[in-house]
Chains A and B, each alone.
Chain A
Amino acid sequence: MSGPGGIALVFGLPIAVAFIFFALAAYERRMGIATGPGFFQRNGMAIGLYLVIAVSFWAFFIILLPQLAMVDMSFRPKLPPSQMGGPKDLYTLENYRYFLFGSTTSTEEWNWLHIKAFFLTIGASVAITLLNFAICYPLAFHMAQSATAARLRVLLLLLIIPYWVNEILRAFAFRVLLSSGGIINQMLMGVGAVNEPIDFLGADVGLYMGLSYAYLLMMIFPLYNAIESLDRNQIEAARDLGAPWWHIHAFVVMPHAKPGIASGCTLVFMLTAGALAAPLVLGGPRTLWFTPIVYDRFYQAFNWPQGAAYAFILLVSCIVFVLVVLKVFRLSLGEITR
């Protein structure tokens, strides 16, 4: 997105969208569809302008155009600044080729290091999402259906306290807990279960615990909200009809809470797959989470186009994953962002 084409896009896109809006409004007015006063009539000139400028600055300059610029850059070669926009600045797939083959020209060997890290990240994120669902569901159910008001307040407070501390410090807490001189190893050695301290961090126990810990709340609250709206009488009725407890959960509570489950799972999955702090602080020496690789493309290898390509791969796979999950559960996007 460099050169005159880029500038045309940067300033043209907002204007084009605004034009389409006005054309649409004019068309509707002529057809007699629109009712009520027009936008500027309704808000007055000053506030109308403020609304238009604030929202279009946000939508275009902070959300849309940066994403487009990133995608655009991911298809360009790495060039010194002097050659940008020059004859060598052509669209290419070499950054994506590098992800697959570890080389921009040869296609002989697969880039196992990065491909494995990518699939490990996606797979582990799915596993952590399911784990968090399993951990949080009973508590969310209890909070929504059987806890008294006073108890609920205490539980909510206890849940929120750890999240006042930022991500890095939370990961650090796990490092303190699980390090070879940490309290868990001390206890294990104290009772004589092991002779040598266990290397939890090297074995990635710390990474997975830290990741699961980091996003527990994102699972609890959507679940709680969804289960809370279920009428208790339905559970009573099912119980009176002789349904065992797991029937009640599988056929009464979960179908009702489906949007909440999907939204909790989506949030946890997205956040885990894109997590950076926990992998940096807790990752063992042998494992590679995908996000630190993206980081290294940028600030170790200084290959921005490649970093952009890696980021785009991560973004697309997250989106595809979420859409597939929505399709499987027959939910619309509107239902989960509610």
Chain B
Amino acid sequence: MKTGAFQRVMFAIYIAIFFLYLLGPLAVMGVSSFNTSQYPQVWPFEGFTLSWFSDLFADQDMMYGLQMSVWIGLLVVAISVPVGLAGAIVMTQIQPRIRSTYYLVVVSPVLTPGIIIGISTVVFWRQFTGVTGTRFLYDGVVLTVLGQASFISAYCMLIILARLQRFDRAQEEAALDLGASYPQVFRHILLPFLKPALFSAGVLAFLSSFENYNTTTFSILADKTLTTVLAGRVRQGSTPAISALAVMIVAATLAGALVYEVVKRRADAAAARRQRAAIAAEETELSGDAGAVLA
């Protein structure tokens, strides 16, 4: 009994230290963004201010970078989700003997260090655009979207694949037997079934693109995104405005996560309601039949 209590105390201490390590730095950063001190610090707390937030909005480079990041994120979603969808569908149809090779190729970007993806993208497209005379494609935004799409498409594929594996092929066959064409089956059966996975893949793709640094710093060339601007700032020295940015990102993602949760709960509730209604309808029909038989 005694050892049990001792173990519990030890474990509680471990958990406390673990979460102090995990959340402590963020808390420090959060507090420092409201401190009037010129240098980001918590103690001594010289006075409460919101001026670091207004500094942030007045910062032209940051705002430009933010705009670029959002733009690139949307383009990456537009490429990665369809490509990931195609990758997942092909995975379920490909012959078993080449499936493992195919899997290795398309999953490899997930395990490749980000800087290598960035470098190889820049090297290849510089030569490709030079040789084929499409120099206008050799542009920071284009390259960043291509570089990020390599591994983000793989994330999307894995998410979509997980749902696709639960797809009942019989639904597709039933639709075909009833005279639907292949594009109709794809449009009206497969896509609606995959919709939740496509949505999560899109959200994840945007977030991964938005916060990517390792690949972007190589492929962005002379342009900039929020993370590359930020990296430059942090290297030069630190101001509490950067802490303020972190606070805002946490707040924004928190809001996004809450909205997502609410939407998802509503959808789940609606689905549950439909199912209940269907079951109820079936039951009344059955009892009606039974009544008819008895009569």
Contacts and interface: CB of A to CB of B under 8 A. Distances in A.
Interface of A: 1-3, 6-7, 10, 21, 24-25, 28, 34, 39, 42-44, 46-47, 50-51, 54-55, 57-59, 61-70, 73, 135, 138-139, 142, 158-159, 161-162, 164-177, 179, 181-183, 186, 213, 216, 245, 266-267, 270-271, 273-277, 280-281, 291, 294-295, 298, 304, 307-308, 311, 314-315, 318, 322, 333-334, 337
B86 interface: yes
Nearest to A69: B124
A161 B120 CA distance: 32
B260 interface: no
A169 B214 contact: no
B181 interface: yes
Contacts of A183: 28, 41-43
B183 A46 contact: yes
Given A2-B127, A176-B29, A281-B235, A168 B116 contact: no
B11 A138 contact: yes
B1 interface: no
Contacts of A334: 100, 103
Interface string B239-256: 000110110011001100
Contacts of B85: 54
Contacts of B123: 66, 69-70, 73, 304, 308
A68 B131 CA distance: 16
Interface in B127-165: 127-128, 130-132, 146-147, 149-150, 153
17 contacts: A2-B130, A2-B131, A43-B89, A47-B186, A54-B87, A57-B83, A66-B121, A69-B128, A176-B25, A177-B24, A213-B25, A274-B114, A298-B119, A308-B123, A314-B115, A337-B103, A337-B111
B107, B111, B218, B254: which has the most chain A beta carbons within 10 Å? B111
B29 A161 contact: no
Given A164-B254, A172-B243, 20 more contacts: A2-B127, A24-B98, A44-B181, A46-B183, A47-B182, A55-B87, A57-B83, A58-B150, A62-B153, A63-B106, A64-B105, A70-B124, A161-B23, A169-B29, A170-B25, A172-B29, A182-B41, A213-B21, A216-B22, A304-B123
Contacts of A162: 22-23, 25-26
B103, B113, B149, B234: which has the most chain A beta carbons within 10 Å? B113
A161 B250 contact: yes
Contacts, number: 240
B275 interface: no
A275 B214 contact: yes
B116 A169 contact: no
Interface residues of B, number: 87
A165 B181 contact: no
A22 to B, nearest CB: 12
B213 A167 contact: yes
Nearest to A62: B150
A311 B116 contact: yes
A158 B89 CA distance: 35
B267 interface: no
Interface stretch (B12-20, B53-61, B277-285, B287-295): B12-20
Nearest to A85: B131
Contacts of A311: 115-116, 119-120
Interface in B182-232: 182-183, 186, 210-211, 213-214, 217-218, 227, 230-231
Given A55-B90, A161-B23, A168 B249 contact: no
Interface of B: 7, 11, 14-15, 18-19, 21-26, 28-29, 32, 39-43, 82-83, 85-87, 89-90, 93, 95, 98, 100, 102-117, 119-121, 123-125, 127-128, 130-132, 146-147, 149-150, 153, 181-183, 186, 210-211, 213-214, 217-218, 227, 230-231, 234-235, 238, 242-243, 245-246, 249-250, 253-254
Given A6-B131, A54-B82, A164-B249, A173 B26 contact: yes
A139 B18 contact: yes
Contacts of B29: 169, 172-173, 176
A1 B130 CA distance: 11
Contacts of A182: 28, 41
Contact of A166 (B102, B110, B227, B243): B227
Contacts of B22: 158-159, 162, 213, 216
Contact of A55 (B83, B130, B147, B235): B83
Q: Which 5 A-B pairs have the closest CB atoms?
A: A274-B113, A44-B182, A173-B25, A166-B211, A54-B86
Contacts of B249: 164-166, 169
Contacts of A161: 23, 26, 250
Given A164-B250, A183-B43, A176 B28 contact: yes
Contacts of B243: 172, 176
B111 to A, nearest CB: 6
Contact of B120 (A28, A66, A174): A66
Contacts of B25: 162, 170, 173-174, 176-177, 213
Contacts of B234: 168, 171-172, 175, 281
A291 B107 contact: no
B42 A51 contact: no
A165 B105 contact: no
A70 B119 contact: yes
B82 A276 contact: no
Contact of B87 (A58, A170, A315, A322): A58
A59 B124 contact: no
B13 to A, nearest CB: 11
A43 B182 contact: yes
B155 to A, nearest CB: 13
Nearest to A48: B182
